[in-house]
Chain A
Amino acid sequence: MKRYVARRLLTGLLTVVVVMVLNFVIIHAAPGDPVRIMAGMEHPSEAQMEELRVRFGLDKPLWQQLFIYMGQVARGDLGTSYTYNTPVLSLIADTLGPSALLALTSCVLSFLIGTLLGLFTARHQGSWIDSTLSYVSYFFDSMPPFWLGLVSILVFASTLHLLPTSGMVNLRAQNTGWALGVDIATHLILPCGTMTLIQIPGYLRLTRSSVSQVMQEDYITTFRATGMSEKQIFRKYVLKNAILPTITVFGISLAYVVTGAALVEIVFAWPGIGRLMLNAINRRDYPLLMGIYLMLSVSVAVVTLAVDLLYAWIDPRIRLK
């Protein structure tokens, strides 16, 4: 098991390095010139642009820039953002918390609710609850998250005045302690609810079909023949077998936690990393963009490893010797 983990860590590290190189090349090859944007003028002078290029090292050949960047990263320095003029690391650190709060909460909530609903509908197939939930889930599944977000703002914030429209805290109130917690929670309801509703249908359908499939397995017939009660068969044997694909999907969605919520973050003016990323793209802020992508690939690698380990723990068939 130790060797397995070590090997997986090593391949994970390798993947991250490869992704970094690819990202670097692709971002620099993309059209748009950061210098032009930084100059902030319709027609900046050649001299001004040259000055900026030299200052940010953009005058050197691409491969040289890549090596300089890799060297920096190896020393734990992600560079300085062109547009914010702040270290990339601190920009990411500031936005990571709010992003993780929003995305993790909705990931876990949708996983739990979706799986439970899936189990319920699988046990009551053909009932009116089953068919109602199936229609409702298609409804939410086909809805773009930013649109659902806008509608929920319109209904719950603008019309009913129940919840705040945007942001993560009420800046005027200057809350601390408990009050701050409550304040964040109220701000969290709409964006988190939006993302949860969008993600529930996937889990619901996956769990439902996974349960139906497991119910067809030969070992379920064996247990029925032994006189074991349906309840015991379901709780003890169907559940553990049926939950496996759900865990995979949960893992994948966790890996994209940080950036998957970008559109919802923008709709709700949530101070998260997704918003930071979109700004970085628009302004061709190379160091910031590279930093965010690096973060993303590291988090994908780590979460994939964690899910694989969890999987191996649950399913003995994929345990490696």
Chain B
Amino acid sequence: MAFLELRNLSVDYLMGAQRVHAVDGVSFPVEKGDSVGIVGESGSGKSTLGLALLRLLGEPTAEVRGEALLEGMDLLTLAEKDLQELRWRRMAAVFQKSMNALSPVHKIGKQMADVYRVHHPEASREQAKQRALETLRQVNLAERVYTSYPHELSGGMMQRVSIALSLLNHPDLIIFDEATTALDVVTQGQILKEIQYLERELGLTRLMITHDISVVAASCSHVAVMYAGRLMEYGPTAKVLRSPRHPYTQGLLRAYPSLRGEKTGMQGIPGALPDLKEEIPGCVFAPRCPWATEDCRQRRPEEVTIEAGWRASCPRAVEGREPDA
């Protein structure tokens, strides 16, 4: 069994009598040491997926189904007490808006020490401080950050603080939710490099939720492409990005400019996201897919395996040819 295994994970948001199918039957394995990029446009359900794993979705408004097995333990059904125990020790997170990731009226160091002591209540103030300073050094921040307030730091520095915070209690798995999105490309590049270095040093497994394929290309071993709450394609980054099999992945890649290589025209995907409140019997991408057949619209496509560890939910994927653009 994989280190982390998502099986048929679904999340519905309940809005009055309506159900929004934010995540719909997503399954993929994550091996220890893997770094999996979850990409998709806004509203594809990628952030919801991350929050569901962290069990941070509000109970009355969100209904989570399926399984998320962390070394065989189902994160979704774990008792509250065990969950609190596991949080930050096994699974930590770095969130999108790092400027708001910590309380603005408390010093950064104090908050880090507090978080450390949640799981090490026996640790002295000094021990907690030492551990916090250690993680700050790991992300190349000066010691003075410990006595600073969040507003005294730049966005990039706060992002590093968020990463340091996630490392505090030696987690195995870190979920990055759009963690580098708000940064300029230079800072983003540096931080991605540092993350990869730390990953190798500390043996971390990483889920990287992002809408930026270049982030995935630069830093992830695997990629999961999501669209309208469903998994379109999953496989090793190098293979998926070089020869995408799912029409949606192909479209997504065509919509990105490339720095090197031939100068080709950029192309958007015509159409818009479907209404997630409706039950869609067939493929969610069918209305925007140039190759959609009547069958695609009627029946949910089965996942096809292209090769071991690489699959896509489209019958065309197995043919393995890039359709004429």
A contact set with B: CB distance below 8 Å: 217-219, 221-229, 232, 236-237, 240-241, 244, 314-317
> Is B308 engaged at the interface, CB distance under 8 Å to the other chain?
no
Q: Which residues of B contact A232 (CB under 8 A)?
A: 114, 118
Q: Which residues of A contact B227 (CB under 8 A)?
A: none
Q: Which residues of B contact A227 (CB under 8 A)?
A: 83-89, 118-119
Contact with A along B26-51 (1 / 0, CB 8 A): 00000000000000000000000000
Name the distance in Å between B108's Cβ and chain A's nearest Cβ: 11
CB contact between B105 and one of A224, A225, A226, A314 (< 8 Å): that residue? A314
Q: Which residues of A contact B106 (CB under 8 A)?
A: 236-237, 240
Contact with A along B142-185 (1 / 0, CB 8 A): 00000001010000000000100100010000000000000000
Known: A221-B56, A221-B95, A316-B149. A226 touches B102 (CB 8 A): no
Q: Which of chain B's residues has its CB closest to A237's CB?
A: B103
Q: Which residues of A contact B89 (CB under 8 A)?
A: 227
Known: A227-B84, A240-B103. A222 touches B165 (CB 8 A): yes
Known: A226-B87, A227-B119. A219 touches B93 (CB 8 A): no
Q: Which residues of A contact B165 (CB under 8 A)?
A: 222, 226
> When chains A and B are docked, how far (Å) is the Cα of A225 from the Cα of B84?
9
Please name 6 pairs of A and B residues whose Cβ atoms are closer than 8 Å in the assembled complex, sorted by A: A219-B102, A219-B104, A222-B101, A225-B87, A315-B104, A317-B151
CB contact between B88 and one of A226, A229, A244 (< 8 Å): that residue? A226
Name the distance in Å between B13's Cβ and chain A's nearest Cβ: 16
- Is B100's CB under 8 angstroms from A316's CB? no
Q: Which of chain A's residues has its CB closest to B96's CB?
A: A218
> When chains A and B are docked, how far (Å) is the Cα of A314 from the Cα of B118?
24
Q: Which of chain B's residues has its CB closest to A217's CB?
A: B100
Known: A227-B85, A229-B84. A222 touches B105 (CB 8 A): no
Given contacts A218-B100, A228-B118, 4 further A-B contacts (CB under 8 A): A218-B96, A219-B103, A226-B88, A227-B118
- Is A218's CB under 8 angstroms from B104's CB? no
Number of interface residues of B (CB under 8 A): 31
Q: How many A-B residue pairs have CB under 8 A?
A: 73
Q: Which of chain A's residues has its CB closest to B116's CB?
A: A226
> When chains A and B are docked, how far (Å) is the Cα of A216 from the Cα of B119?
24
> When chains A and B are docked, how far (Å) is the Cα of A229 from the Cα of B84?
8
- Is A223's CB under 8 angstroms from B105's CB? no
> When chains A and B are docked, how far (Å) is the Cα of A221 from the Cα of B119?
17
> When chains A and B are docked, how far (Å) is the Cα of A119 from the Cα of B88?
28
> When chains A and B are docked, how far (Å) is the Cα of A240 from the Cα of B92?
25
Q: Which residues of A contact B92 (CB under 8 A)?
A: 225-226
> Is B97 engaged at the interface, CB distance under 8 Å to the other chain?
yes
Q: Which residues of B contact A225 (CB under 8 A)?
A: 54, 56, 87-88, 92-93
> Is B115 engaged at the interface, CB distance under 8 Å to the other chain?
yes
Q: Which of chain A's residues has its CB closest to B51's CB?
A: A221
> When chains A and B are docked, how far (Å) is the Cα of A227 from the Cα of B88?
7
Name the distance in Å between A308's Cβ and chain B's nearest Cβ: 16
Name the distance in Å between A143's Cβ and chain B's nearest Cβ: 35
Name the distance in Å between A256's Cβ and chain B's nearest Cβ: 27
> When chains A and B are docked, how far (Å) is the Cα of A59 from the Cα of B102?
66
CB contact between A219 and one of B85, B101, B149 (< 8 Å): that residue? B101
> When chains A and B are docked, how far (Å) is the Cα of A224 from the Cα of B92?
11
- Is A240's CB under 8 angstroms from B105's CB? yes
> When chains A and B are docked, how far (Å) is the Cα of A237 from the Cα of B93?
19
A-facing residues in B111-132 (Cβ within 8 Å): 111, 114-115, 118-119
> When chains A and B are docked, how far (Å) is the Cα of A223 from the Cα of B151?
18
Name the distance in Å between B182's Cβ and chain A's nearest Cβ: 12
Q: Which residues of B contact A222 (CB under 8 A)?
A: 93, 95, 101-102, 162, 165
> When chains A and B are docked, how far (Å) is the Cα of A232 from the Cα of B88?
16
Name the distance in Å between A227's Cβ and chain B's nearest Cβ: 3
Name the distance in Å between A35's Cβ and chain B's nearest Cβ: 57
- Is B95's CB under 8 angstroms from A218's CB? yes
> When chains A and B are docked, how far (Å) is the Cα of A236 from the Cα of B117?
14
Q: Which residues of A contact B103 (CB under 8 A)?
A: 219, 237, 240-241
Q: Which residues of A contact B105 (CB under 8 A)?
A: 240-241, 244, 314-317
A-facing residues in B61-96 (Cβ within 8 Å): 83-89, 92-93, 95-96
Q: Which residues of A contact B119 (CB under 8 A)?
A: 227
Q: Which residues of B contact A315 (CB under 8 A)?
A: 104-105
Q: Which residues of B contact A226 (CB under 8 A)?
A: 87-88, 92, 115, 118, 165, 169
> When chains A and B are docked, how far (Å) is the Cα of A232 from the Cα of B95?
21
Q: Which residues of B contact A244 (CB under 8 A)?
A: 105
Name the distance in Å between A75's Cβ and chain B's nearest Cβ: 45
Known: A219-B100, A222-B101. A228 touches B56 (CB 8 A): no
Most buried by A among B83, B84, B101, B103: B103
Q: Which residues of B contact A221 (CB under 8 A)?
A: 56, 95
Known: A218-B97, A224-B56, A225-B87. A316 touches B151 (CB 8 A): yes
Name the distance in Å between B56's Cβ and chain A's nearest Cβ: 6
> When chains A and B are docked, how far (Å) is the Cα of A55 from the Cα of B103?
64
Q: Which residues of A contact B86 (CB under 8 A)?
A: 227
> When chains A and B are docked, how far (Å) is the Cα of A226 from the Cα of B169?
9
Q: Which residues of A contact B54 (CB under 8 A)?
A: 225
Q: Which residues of B contact A229 (CB under 8 A)?
A: 84, 118
> When chains A and B are docked, how far (Å) is the Cα of A201 from the Cα of B111?
33
Q: Which residues of A contact B149 (CB under 8 A)?
A: 316-317
> When chains A and B are docked, how far (Å) is the Cα of A145 from the Cα of B56?
46
Q: Which residues of A contact B87 (CB under 8 A)?
A: 225-227
Name the distance in Å between B112's Cβ and chain A's nearest Cβ: 10
> When chains A and B are docked, how far (Å) is the Cα of A242 from the Cα of B119?
26
Q: Which residues of B contact A218 (CB under 8 A)?
A: 95-97, 100-101
- Is B115's CB under 8 angstroms from A241's CB? no
> When chains A and B are docked, how far (Å) is the Cα of A46 from the Cα of B100?
74
Q: Which of chain B's residues has its CB closest to A318's CB?
A: B151
> When chains A and B are docked, how far (Å) is the Cα of A245 from the Cα of B248?
49
Q: Which of chain A's residues has its CB closest to B93's CB?
A: A225
